[in-house]
Amino acid sequence: MGNTIFESFIDMIDWQPLTLTFQLALTTTILLFLIGIPIAYWLAYTKFKIKPIIEAIISLPLVLPPTVLGFYLLLAFSPNNSFGAWLDQYLGLRLVFSYEGLVLGSMLYSLPFMVHPIQAGLANLSPSLREASYVLGKSEWTTLLRVLLPNIRPALITGIVLSFAHTIGEFGLVLMIGGSIQGETKVASIAIYEQVESLNYAVANSYSFILFALSFFILLLVYLYNGSYTKHIIK
């Protein structure tokens, strides 16, 4: 009986949207990690007067409806727009209704979830760590990689996990810039929406439960790790 229920559950779901969702989240998180660290480092230590402006721009996805960001990306990347036409003609990039466009949109949408934890972690470190490293003749890049980042592991993991989980839950931006192309832009959130529209609540529930369980499990691991790491540091 149990196997029959499980097999019917497996057969009910089209796994491609879930696979594409995790692929998108993984790609976005890796790219955000690579560009988020330099941005967070600059924001944590810069004295430039434009810092509040940059912070406000990075934080916009936290307050803007995803459809707003998706709408402007749709306009910018459209081949009917001069910028979109230039990308298509000279770089061969068609970012509207494509996987590449989803990746770029997801990076912009999840950027603050990577930058803010790392920035806070770096800003809370003792200045003596950087100063001691510089006194020993280490370069700024070596100091970042060998001294600062190892001391903010909880912040790094938080940024990685939040970016991954946030990308999994995207809907409005994905719908605006990617649409619903099977195997290319149709992620799990779009599949849920379409199943609800078709009144296929059982399938929608299956997708939703998988995303819910996975997101909860990932966040639980982060809190458990950060809690145990903090206790270890205190001891």
The predicted-structure confidence for 116-148, as pLDDT tens digits, reads as follows 999 999 999 988 888 888 888 888 889 998 999
pTM across the whole model? 0.86
Mean pLDDT of 205-228: 84
The number of distinct structural domains making up the chain is 1
Average pLDDT, the chain: 87
pLDDT at 5 over 60: no
> Which residue, 188, 208, 48, 178, is CA-closest to 104?
178
Mean pLDDT of the 214-226 span? 83
Q: What is the pLDDT of residue 234?
A: 47
- For residue 206, is it within any domain? yes
Contacts by 182-186, CB closer than 8 A, 24 or more apart: 182/16, 183/16, 183/20, 184/20, 184/97, 184/98, 184/99, 185/20, 185/97, 185/98, 185/99, 185/101, 185/102, 186/16, 186/17, 186/20
Q: What is the pLDDT of residue 18?
A: 92
The answer to whether residue 153 scores a pLDDT higher than 60 is yes
**Each residue's pLDDT tens digit, 166-207:** 999 888 899 899 888 888 889 999 999 999 999 999 889 989
Q: What is the pLDDT of residue 228?
A: 62
> Domain range for residue 93?
17-234
Q: What is the pLDDT of residue 117?
A: 95
Q: CA–CA separation, 208 vs 13, rounded Å? A: 11
What digits encode the pLDDT tens for the residues 86-116? 888 888 888 888 999 999 999 999 999 999 9
The answer as to whether 11 is a domain residue is no
Q: Is 78 within the bounds of a domain? A: yes
Q: Is residue 2 part of a domain?
A: no
Give me the CATH number covering residue 130. Answer: 1.10.3720.10
In a domain, 87, yes or no: yes
Say if residues 152 and 198 touch (Cβ distance below 8 Å).
no
pLDDT tens sequence across 29-64: 999 999 999 999 999 999 889 999 999 999 999 998
Does 181 reside within a domain?
A: yes
Residue 221 falls inside a structural domain: yes
Residue 4 within a domain: no
**So what's the pLDDT on residue 188?**
92
b/e per residue 103-137 (b: at least 16 CB within 10 A): bbbbbbbbbbbbbbbbbbbbeeeeeeebeebeeee
